[in-house]
Amino acid sequence: MTSVETLDPAPVTALQALLDTGAPTVATGDPLPPMWQWVALPRWPASSVLGPDGHPRPGDFLPRLNGLPRRMFAGGETLFYGTLRVGADVVRESVVDSVEEKVGRSGRFAIVRVSTTLSEPRGPVLLRERQDILYRPPATVPDPATLPDPVPPAARPLVGPPLVRKGEGWTFVTDPTLLMRFSAATANAHRIHYDWPYATRVEGYPGLVVHGPLSTLVLAEALRLTAPDRTAASLRHRNNAPLFCGSEGHVSVTIASDSAEATLRGGDGTLLTHLSVGFVPRLPKGAAHA
């Protein structure tokens, strides 16, 4: 799948408003922060091709996996070769690299690996990305009588900025409005992020699920705020478990000379998302770029 697209300033502005970190504004012509291609290149499918979960029905680009309908973002890797700039045109080429079915402790599942390359039109490659998408069997849905009442969560006040410094790290908390706005910015219609009855009664989650890409972006932003003078050369991320809407997550960052790590943990200390970055080496003092 190959197309020429524009790194759209509108969803970039939307993400800045959503994160509300106070970081310098990113405008047309500016370098795109790491991983913001997920919002700058939204791909809106026609309503007629959406499946019951809100994703495009498989079989066109992504493969059909019989008996594995539940889709989750599991992680991936990105390599940066140049600068993506807001408002610039890029050539996006995406391919399905592999489909691997396995059996684990919780049963059968599959990992689909999708590779994407972003290049300048008639120019060099700027970014290569691999995404790992996890497919699982249908959920065993609990008795509706045992599910939590949706009214109290809906009545809670909005949380304000989702990523807030606290001590040596940050807290990360979401609300339904935040999840809805991120879904809109990224053209993500997966119902587990905004449809409470579907998330709990069909897919068996205890509440709305925070987007895996949003958790990853929050870690990338925490790193960017901690080391604003460093440039990412590579970035790996893994989503081990979801954070649920309204639950407080805790972000920590560790910076080394040529690399950095960031983690998102739940209130009980469970590792939810991990991100590692390799930096472009610093030039010695007095040295000039080629």
What's the mean pLDDT in 158-166?
90
What's the mean pLDDT in 270-285?
87
159 or 85: which carries more pLDDT confidence? 85
Note the pTM of the prediction, 2 decimals: 0.90
What's the mean pLDDT in 1-18?
94
Give CA separation, 56 vs 42, 69, 79, 199, in Å: 14, 12, 27, 17
Q: Tell me the average pLDDT of the chain.
A: 90
**Cβ-proximal residues to 286 (8 Å cutoff; 6+ apart), any chain:** none
Q: Is residue 147 predicted with pLDDT exceeding 50?
A: yes
Cα–Cα–Cα angle for 24, 92, 111, rounded to 5 degrees: 95
Q: What pLDDT shows up at residue 279? A: 94
Q: Is residue 290 predicted with pLDDT exceeding 50?
A: no
Most confident stretch, 103-107, 229-233, 270-274: 270-274
d(CA 217, CA 246) in angstroms, rounded, equals: 18
d(CA 236, CA 241) in angstroms, rounded, equals: 16
d(CA 240, CA 272) in angstroms, rounded, equals: 5
Assign 288 a pLDDT band (cuts: 50, 70, 90): low
50-81 tens-digit pLDDT: 988 998 887 777 788 888 888 899 999 999 99
Beta-ladder partners of 165: 170
Residue tagged 């700058």 (tokens) = 40
pLDDT above 90 coverage of the chain, percent: 68
pLDDT above 70 coverage of the chain, percent: 93
Residue pair 217/190 in contact by the 8 Å Cβ criterion: no
What's the mean pLDDT in 205-212?
92
Q: What pLDDT shows up at residue 154? A: 60
125-142 tens-digit pLDDT: 999 999 999 998 888 776
